Structure 1
């Protein structure tokens, strides 16, 4: 009887460790559903789109590198830096253009966000959004600097997270030919959490070009899971996108997305 106690103790320790790891995964998945959470993360988001261009023969591969870095600036406020740097490979997006591979323009956002939710449970953040002309090719860049406001508001209740992120970027300098940057981005989102660090998310990433008077509305459905690879906490997932509305030369139909997020919880 006494000989079985060590084995029982090891089993209890193992079950406790599994339970703690699951709670950690669930907590990290909930934080990742919040764009202004105080969590350092480095998402790598791969997107594939096709049926691009006036003849629908173009295609595009995009890898968005999106580091998120929170900084505590007081007892009550965080500053959240969110960067999106796209690496693009595209072919035949317009007749006779061939292939381009390189970097696209960077969008840098800064959110000033209270550390505590409001009394009714809402989480919010506001700040500036900047467009940086880091594109390595004229067909990968607007060749313009842009600036405008950005904001996010959300609520987390039980297994659900819902809210919206918005920004508007306006041309401030650079090449205005052929078009001046004047763009609004709206991303309403709904995320359902499940045990084991699993989330199912639905959102749109709508963009409206005020200079060209046209917009696009891709609808995304994605399944993600938080887990541990060695000593590294990660989230990985996959999803599909449907272009409910697109610009005249934009993508059409179905597309897909893969993501890998490196997590660095405090």
Structure 2
């Protein structure tokens, strides 16, 4: 005679249901789009922020390590802001684990917020990513691939919409002379990130990094380009502060006019 399995070892359903309800409420409170908090960006975006249930693509401006790092941190900063609610986790899938964890933590994405998954190929990464999106319990999903055709991006867009989860697809450079964003895609927005010289400090030291942030394409909106200070420890970008010499020159011109 086979006895029915005991239910004493099963996790109680009530706490799980309460957790799912809390995540759903937090996602609803977040709103349909995540603003950057910079008017120069948000007013130019069709949704006044990043759609929280859509695919967004990111690429480095060149195949250099510095631009690759900038694009990676740009994605990490966005994910960190999507994951500000307690209990929210970011799913990051890739074929080669070359991420620098302290760097991610400096833009607000600590190790307690990230679940990593490594696949043997781009197709394996995309399959894992699609499953993660449809799960609907994650704050954000990031995937790093070298190749994704329009069919793959359409599937990711549909999965992000079904799971009400933002999807960031980082397209890695295959060759140095071809931008990964040159092909067709179903993404809502497509971003190209690169490094530019930062502001000169009045004293010796290392200042805040500065990036060239280009929105190459967006649905129902126009492309644009800005130079911004890199993400801070909460994943937030910033407009560069006016140069001190410019401020002094403006003040001097005002006094002479008076």
Asked if these proteins are the same fold (TM beyond 0.5), I'd say no
Write 1 or 2 for the structure with the bigger share of helix.
Answer: 2
Write 1 or 2 for the structure with the bigger share of strand.
Answer: 1
